[in-house]
A and B are shown apart, each in its own frame.
Chain A
Amino acid sequence: MILESVKFAFIVYAIAAVIAFLVAGLIKIIFAIINRSNNKAKKEEKPVLAKPAAQE
């Protein structure tokens, strides 16, 4: 019974750890998507701003 409970506790810990790191991974993914869309928006804005400076 005790051995089984140790095994059970270990499994619970392992599942919790995997989910916790998945949540951490999710944060990174959300940040990557947001940064990517921000960069894309900046790139689209750049030529419009750069043109008059280049002409001068």
Chain B
Amino acid sequence: MPDIDILQLFQGIATLVNADPTIAVSRIVLILLGILLVYCGVKHILEPLLMIPMGVGMASVNAAVLYLSATTMGTIFIDPLVTDPVKLLDILQIDFLQPIYTLTFSNGLIACLVFMGVGVLCDIGYVLATPFTSMFIAIMAELGTIATFPIAIAMGLPPKEAASIAMVGCADGPMVLFTSLMLARDLFVPISVVAYLYLSLTYGGYPFLIRLLIPKKLRGIKMDLKKIPRVKPGEKIAFSLITCTILCLLFPVAAPLFMSFFLGVIIRDANVAPFKAFIEGPILYGSTFFLGLLLGVLCEANTILNPKVLILLILGMTSLLLSGIGGIIGGYIMYFVSKGQFNPVVGIAGVSCVPTTSKVAQKEVHLANMKAQILPYAIGANISGVITSAIIAGIYITLLK
């Protein structure tokens, strides 16, 4: 009979004891962070759809490190760093999440599926009703994605990584994921994790920014909803099809994003019920679930420990903050142009975190004035934000790849 060695039996503890102290401490911190994320998700402090699978994945993967051979430690969850095709074939048969990672994550498919789901949820009619106003606010709310680029360069990041982290300012998870996969493959795990953590915080952080920058009197401005014309489904489909084709023609590198988004929009407006139900149900929820789980599992201490993570945390926050400020400046400009008829809070909805920022804007307006409604304008700016973010992602990828 073999001798029973306790550390040999409980390999998760053995690898913790025998690992480098930095890695061991990081593993413990990440396990605790995973548990915290699940707690925040369950309590609805952060987005539960993403945070629960992400937190469970993060805690499990950092606990489940074992000896793969006499000298190497690792997990049987996933190996994101493998590049050799022969080794990859072996790992695909061993690591249980590797097939999903290789076939949907590392090629950007999962980002496109989420984007398709976002398209099905978006009523593009609100953009069509007030196109110039919506686009103006959306482009103002891209301040973070633009201004963070030189800041990141000044902090020592190369242009591709600077552009990837700057995209956090668009507050659009799939977009950040797609851009970082295209431009900064080595850093896409920490960038995506930073992006998704901060996106969850927009719901809690942006209300304070609105209250800080817009006085209550202006937050309560009532907007005339009768001015919004009704848009027919045929008009929405025509616009989506033409815009999708033109944007794909201009930026073929970002074409998967454009196609996915506008396909979702067209299916919604064409009222193809089976496809609509399929995309907004299994596709959107399925891809969000696996996105969260894979992001959590990718947060293994050995993968995520990178000296640049602190810089990414600072830049992500800066980008999101600047975008919020830019959107509010856009809202103020519209307020002055319309001679006080436009509620500047709509500006925050230009940050394209659909539909979170629209909800935040409406909630803040509602708190200031129970009778004020801005949601249609906010959704218009919000969806325009998705389009402008995809345009900026396309420009960054085309120019820097």
Q: Which residues of A contact B (CB under 8 A)?
A: 1-2, 5-6, 8-10, 12-13, 15-17, 19-21, 23-28, 30-31, 34
B132, closest chain A residue (CB): A24
- With contacts A5-B150, A31-B128 taken as known, whether A16 is within 8 angstroms of B139 at the C-beta atoms is yes
- Chain B residue numbers with a CB within 8 Å of A24 are 131-132, 134-135
Give Cα A19–Cα B251 distance, bound, in whole angstroms.
Answer: 11
What's the nearest-Cβ distance from chain B to residue A56, in Å?
Answer: 34
- Chain B residue numbers with a CB within 8 Å of A31 are 128, 235
Interface of A is mostly: helix
- Chain B residue numbers with a CB within 8 Å of A19 are 247, 250, 391
- Chain B residue numbers with a CB within 8 Å of A8 are 149-150, 159, 399
What's the nearest-Cβ distance from chain A to residue B71, in Å?
Answer: 42
B129, closest chain A residue (CB): A27
Q: Which residues of B contact A (CB under 8 A)?
A: 127-128, 131-132, 134-136, 138-139, 142, 146-147, 149-150, 153-154, 159, 162, 234-235, 238-239, 242-243, 246-247, 250, 384, 387-388, 391-392, 395-396, 399
- With contacts A9-B147, A12-B392, A12-B399 taken as known, whether A20 is within 8 angstroms of B242 at the C-beta atoms is no
- Chain A residue numbers with a CB within 8 Å of B147 are 9
Q: Which 9 A-B pairs have the closest CB atoms?
A: A24-B131, A5-B153, A5-B150, A27-B131, A24-B135, A9-B149, A20-B135, A13-B146, A6-B150
What's the nearest-Cβ distance from chain B to residue A40, in Å?
Answer: 16
Residues B139 and A20 in contact, CB atoms below 8 Å apart: yes
- Chain A residue numbers with a CB within 8 Å of B134 are 24
Give Cα A26–Cα B131 distance, bound, in whole angstroms.
Answer: 9
